[in-house]
Amino acid sequence: MTEQEDLHKVVIVGGGAGGLELAAKLGNKLGKKKRADIKLIDCTLTHLWKPLLHEVAAGTLNSYEDELSYLALAYKNHFTFRLGRVDSLNREKQEISTEPTLDNEGNEYIPRRTFQYDTLIFAVGSTTNDFGIKGVKEHCMFLDDRDQADTFHQYFFRNAYSAHAQQTPLREGQLKIAIAGAGATGVELSAELHEAINHIYEFGLDGFDVNEVSISIIEAADRVLPALPPALSEKTANALEKINVVLLTGHRVLEATKEGFVTDKGGLIPSEMKVWAAGIKAPDFLENIEGLETNQINQLVVKPTLQTTRDENVFAFGDCAACPMEGTDETVPPRAQAAHQQATMLIKTVINRMNKQPLPDYTYVDYGSLINLSRYTTVGNMMGNLLGKKAGSILIEGIIARFVYMSLYKMHQLAIQGFIRVGLTTIANILTQKTKPRMKLH
């Protein structure tokens, strides 16, 4: 047995923010010192921070400039990266398998592979949940990953160019955008699209009246951001109404068609550009994978240690895990801050497992929420436990909230790239900001 084979094998499935941060920190703490073999598996070659996807979709962010190579990050942070989509698990042999990887023409260039583990950690995030509503899969676009965001961006611009060149009157829903779901993704996307539409018109696609373009958000609950505090919802709604985003709260979507959304109150809401952002579920391959316990939205049910209930060697965290929330009958909400906290705890967990010591329990701490509405404003609430208070929260908005929002991305970058690289990149971006286009126009 070689030295590498004798090391404790940690396999992390999923290179989102939580999975990548965990791989980088474990790599620098254990992999660098040859104390453990840290492996990250993902089905894509590059990483893009998921909260940026709505900016990619609108074109206000160029995904090719902000993406990071997993292979390069693995080299820098002393873990290994393997490209592949996990599709099966053998708990008895402690092996996980990836399906063959195909090129754009359907040709196999990486065969099925199997990887052994001592500690397996699922961090595969979530995908959009269409709830089985008729027509959603066929007629709506989604923002689960970078490819989908890029696809929407291209579709959005094709519609704008088509309307610009069109010699006949516009169809009723041709330049109308409807977003199902008033969570963070829906409201942030609406503001970015409003900004993008103004830029398109300014840049010369003026063959149509910009007022013919409309953006609607459809939400079954009675307010936007229903999972967040009411005061934050009110601030956000007021900001969206100032830029003429139509808020259709209390409307439940019954069907999606080519022409638009059909709701239980308003009938057909005309829209040829439809985005579904109305709920999440864990990826379908997790449903009852190798007998592990899952809930109705495919999340792996875990204990406070983040171990799955039926296998102590298999862990899950982030959006793909249903973790009990202390003192309640609920599970930890699927938010980025929870995944970050859990990733931090799992570093200690892995070390304790290697040393045969008791594992820590995860306790969710709510530090508040931030909603970025493009250049118009940023709003949020900071919880007492972040401010050093015993309870309560403080609403923030404007420059302060924007600074806090941007600092979250910088913290993620620091975790995976280090201080020197992030510092130099930040300085370079400041110096070249005026030379970059305001948006991606192709």
Q: What is the pLDDT of residues 348-373, one digit of tens each?
A: 999 999 999 999 999 999 888 888 88
- Taking phi first (over 0 means left), then psi (-120 to 50 degrees means alpha), and beta for anything else, what does residue 291 get? left
Give yes or no for residue 208 having a pLDDT over 70.
Answer: no
Is residue 149 assigned to a domain?
yes
What does the alpha-carbon distance between residue 403 and residue 408 come to, in Å, rounded to a whole number? Answer: 9
pLDDT at position 201 is 74
Q: Are residues 140 and 261 in the same domain?
A: yes
| Strand 127-128 with 119-122, pairing | unpaired
Q: Are residues 273 and 150 in the same domain?
A: yes
**What dihedral do alpha carbons 39, 23, 347, 407 form, nearest 10°?**
-170
Is residue 440 assigned to a domain?
no
- Model confidence pLDDT, tens digit, residues 167-195: 788 888 888 999 999 999 999 999 999 98
pLDDT at position 387 is 47
What does the alpha-carbon distance between residue 338 and residue 317 come to, in Å, rounded to a whole number? Answer: 9
Q: Are residues 51 and 74 in the same domain?
A: yes
Q: Are residues 151 and 274 in the same domain?
A: yes
pLDDT at position 169 is 81
Q: Are residues 188 and 256 in the same domain?
A: yes
What does pTM read for this prediction?
0.91
Q: Are residues 23 and 91 in the same domain?
A: yes
- Taking phi first (over 0 means left), then psi (-120 to 50 degrees means alpha), and beta for anything else, what does residue 14 get? left
What does the alpha-carbon distance between residue 304 and residue 172 come to, in Å, rounded to a whole number? Answer: 52
Residue 395 has which token pair? 């609403």
pLDDT band at 209 (very low <50, low <70, confident <90, very high): low
Name the residue among 72, 81, 80, 52 with its Cα closest to residue 64: 52
- Alpha-carbon distances, residue 2 vs 5, 7, 11, 320, 350 (angstroms): 5, 9, 19, 34, 22
- Model confidence pLDDT, tens digit, residues 57-84: 988 888 888 899 999 999 999 999 999 9
How far does CA 324 lie from the centroid of its chain? 22
Is residue 61 assigned to a domain?
yes
Domain count, the chain: 3
- Is the C-alpha dihedral spanning 295, 298, 304, 307 positive or negative? positive
- Alpha-carbon distances, residue 108 vs 105, 113, 341 (angstroms): 9, 12, 38
Within 10 Å of residue 4's Cβ, how many Cβ atoms? 9
Q: Are residues 298 and 312 in the same domain?
A: yes
Q: Are residues 288 and 273 in the same domain?
A: no
pLDDT at position 26 is 98
Give yes or no for residue 385 having a pLDDT over 50.
Answer: no
Judge whether 213 and 197 are in contact, CB under 8 Å. yes
Beta sheet of 267-270, edge-to-edge order? 253-256, 260-263, 267-270
Is residue 159 assigned to a domain?
yes
Range of the domain at 308: 3-126+282-354
Is residue 182 assigned to a domain?
yes
Is residue 301 assigned to a domain?
yes
What does the alpha-carbon distance between residue 52 and residue 61 come to, in Å, rounded to a whole number? Answer: 8
Q: Are residues 348 and 393 in the same domain?
A: no
End position of a domain, from candidates 354, 380, 403: 354
* Average pLDDT score over the chain: 89
pLDDT band at 18 (very low <50, low <70, confident <90, very high): very high
- Model confidence pLDDT, tens digit, residues 403-426: 888 888 888 888 898 888 888 888
pLDDT at position 437 is 61
End position of a domain, from candidates 225, 245, 278: 278
pLDDT at position 442 is 63
The CATH number of the domain holding residue 260 is 3.50.50.60
Q: Are residues 150 and 60 in the same domain?
A: no
Judge whether 268 and 260 are in contact, CB under 8 Å. yes
Q: Are residues 64 and 115 in the same domain?
A: yes
Strand-pairing partners, residue 78, are none
Q: Are residues 107 and 157 in the same domain?
A: no
Judge whether 309 and 302 are in contact, CB under 8 Å. yes
